[in-house]
Structure formats: structure tokens, C-alpha cells
Amino acid sequence: MKKLSLLIIPLLSMLTFTSANANLLVNGNFELPHVANGTFRIFKNIPGWTTVSGAGIEVQFQSAGAPFDGNQLVELDSTNNSRMQQTVATMAGKRYLLYVAHSPRPGLPASSSGIQVLFNGAVLGTLQADGTGLANTLWNNKIVWVVTPTVNNSTVEFRAVGTSDGAGAYIDDVILAPAD
Ligand SMILES: [Ca+2]
Ligand SMILES: [Ca+2]
């Protein structure tokens, strides 16, 4: 089996998001579209986010672990490892902060539970944690990157990595906001 080279890079974890920083991303908290309480659905597209490859975007409403905020979260190993992205207007040369809340799926080993984070095609890092023995989600909400686009439209992308088996890591509360 291919060994994953995985690394969580919680850069500048002391930075905190304030309401003064507007989130440029649409539906970064995955509260849309609403799915029934206790269930999940798999979509090719949801408000703001488009499937790039794979079966699609699994939106869960408290169906296999509590979200970081609101009622819903996204899992990208929906029925197989999938990729999704969103493109937003940015200013070249300006600094932005990208925040992601991440949790392993309860019960799932780290080898099945990775998510790569990309900005304009460059891999910022891979989020991976061991969910074995967890009865519920265990969120890390201090994952922050500073990015400086060289173009005026930027793409945030997430890719499920690791064993493609219909279960994977969770993300929630994704924020891209001007740093200054
Ligand atoms: Ca949410
Ligand atoms: Ca998996």
C-alpha cells in the first residue's frame, strides 16, 4: 500500500478570526443544502462548492458525529475519495487567511481519513487524525494558512486522500478572509 506523506501544518495558530474579517467563501460552514436531521446526502454541487472528481460531496446533518458549527459538516470520501473546489475573487499580492476546522470520522483510522488542502493548485497541507476509539468528532479548529494569491481569482480545493472506502475525514467552518 502506498504510504501517505501526511503533515498537519497549523501555521499561525494564534491568529483568531474576527467578525471584522469577512468570509469570501460561500457556504463555508456547509449548512446548505439542508439535509434531514440524522441523515446525509451526496451532491455533485452544493452552494459555493463544485465536485472536481469522485462521487461527490457528502453533507451530513448529525448523522455520524457532531459538526464543528451549525448542524452540518462535509465528508469527501463520500462513496470514494472526491475533490471539491470553490473559486472566489481575490486581489493579487494581498494576504489572506484560510481557516479550516477538521475532525477525524469517529472510529476511522488515520490511514482512511486524510484531506488535502489546496490553494490555487498548491498543496498547503494534509489534515489527518486517528478517529479510532472516538465516540464523537474531535475538532481541530486552529488550522490556519496565510496565502498570497498572484491572480485575481483564487480557488480553494479539498481532496480526500488515503484509503478510498466511503468514509473519511470531516471539515467544517472553512473561511477565507483578508489578513489585513
Ligand atoms: Ca457546519
Ligand atoms: Ca477513506
12-55 per-position pLDDT tens digit = 444 555 544 589 999 999 999 999 999 999 999 999 999 999 99
Ion ligand 1: residues, CB within 5 A, are 29-30, 67, 69-70, 72, 172
CA of 40 to the centre of ligand 1 (A): 13
Q: What percent of the chain has pLDDT over 70?
A: 88
Q: Which ligand is nearest to the CA of 113?
A: 2
Phi, psi of 124 (to 5 degrees): -85, -35
Q: Which ligand is nearest to the CA of 29?
A: 1
- Kindly tell me if the per-residue pLDDT of 5 is higher than 90: no
Q: Tell me the DSSP string of the chain.
A: -PPP------TTTT----TTS---STTTT---S---TT-EEEESEETTEEEEESS-EEEEESSSS--SSSSEEEESBSSSB-EEEEEEE--TT--EEEEEEEEPPTT--GGG-EEEEEETTEEEEEEE---TT-SS---EEEEEEEE--SSSEEEEEEEEES--SS---EEEEEEEEE--
pLDDT at 16: 52
For residue 66, with 0-12 CB atoms within 10 Å meaning exposed, 13-18 middle and 19 or more buried, which class applies? Answer: middle
Report the distance separating Cα 73 and Cα 134, nearest Å: 17
Domains of the chain: 40-178 (2.60.120.260)
CA of 64 to the centre of ligand 1 (A): 13
Q: Which ligand is nearest to the CA of 82?
A: 2
**Per-residue pLDDT tens for 130-172?**
999 999 999 999 899 999 999 999 999 999 999 999 999 999 9
CA of 80 to the centre of ligand 2 (A): 7
